[in-house]
Amino acid sequence: MNDNALIIIAKYPEEKNVKTRLKGLMPDEKRLALYISMLENTLRKLKSVPGVDTYIAYAPEGGKNYFSRFGVGLILLPEGDLGVRMFHAFRELFKTGYKRAALVGADIPDLSSAIILKAFTLLSSDDIVYGPAKDGGYYLVGMRKLIKEVFEDVPWSSEQTLKRSIEKAGQFGFSVAFTKTLSDVDTIEDVRRAGLMP
């Protein structure tokens, strides 16, 4: 077991629950294929980062067989909003004994192992690290101890998500560092910009 753990948060690929903001803008089967392609690409790049153990935090429960084929650790996510789910994934790993953990989404085409390693380096001196997304959210959050407050009273999937998270960290006296700003893929413009249009 390494000191560092990486969580990739993922949904079981079904047309009804992935990339829902693209519904009506892309055919359902293309939307599903886009999500699967991004998920597989993320796993291919990040499942073997040196010195890091990789996990998929997934929902719903029926997705276990699908995700087990990637050959990484699995964490079943509970019901609840994104904050509840992310906090649960971190708590599971810190309980296991990891010193630092980071969580990323599966829809960031430019995410690389170098960014993950940079995040863990920053956690040597700071409590929390964020990877800012261009839409005001974040594509990465990492911490060197379990911190619940930054997952509470935050407007998820909003242009205020990162700003509010940083405010919460400051309010409770936690130091924050940042990796580079990237784009995730939520809108049809994001899909086109990333060159992912089928």
Domain boundaries, given as residue ranges, for the chain:
4-191
Q: Residue 198 has what pLDDT?
A: 54
Kindly report the average pLDDT of the chain as a whole number: 92
Least reliable range by pLDDT among 21-35, 153-167, 172-186: 21-35
Q: Are 103 and 140 in contact (CB under 8 A)?
A: yes
CATH assignment, 4-191: 3.90.550.10
If you average pLDDT over residues 67-94, what whole number do you get? 96
- Which residue is associated with the tokens 């599971």? 92
Average pLDDT over residues 159-172: 96
The distance of Cα 16 from the centroid of its chain, to the nearest Å, equals: 20
**Amino acid identity of 118?**
K
Write down the pLDDT at residue 97.
Answer: 96
Per-residue confidence (pLDDT) for residue 29, from 0 to 100: 83
Percent of the chain whose pLDDT exceeds 90: 73
Q: 114: number of CA atoms within 13 Å, CB side? A: 2
pTM greater than 0.85 (yes/no): yes
Is pLDDT at 186 greater than 90 in this prediction?
Answer: no
Q: Which of the two residues, 31 and 170, has the higher pLDDT score?
A: 170
Q: List, in order, residues 6 or more apart from 124 with CB less than 8 Å away.
A: 144
As a whole number, mean pLDDT of residues 12-30 equals: 78
Q: Which of 34, 7, 39 minimizes the C-alpha distance to 23? A: 34
Of 14-23, 49-58, 142-151, 153-162, the poorest mean pLDDT is in 14-23
Which position has the higher pLDDT, 156 or 29? Answer: 156
Of the chain, the percentage scoring pLDDT greater than 70 comes to 98
Which H or E run includes 35? helix 28-46
pLDDT digits over 144-161, tens only? 999 999 999 999 988 999
Mean pLDDT value across residues 124-137:
95
The answer to whether residue 16 scores a pLDDT higher than 80 is no
Cα separation, 104 vs 31, in Å, equals 20
Contact 171, 99 (CB under 8 A): no
Q: Compute the average pLDDT of residues 170-198.
A: 84
Q: What is the pLDDT of residue 197?
A: 65
pLDDT interval class at 25 (50, 70, 90): confident
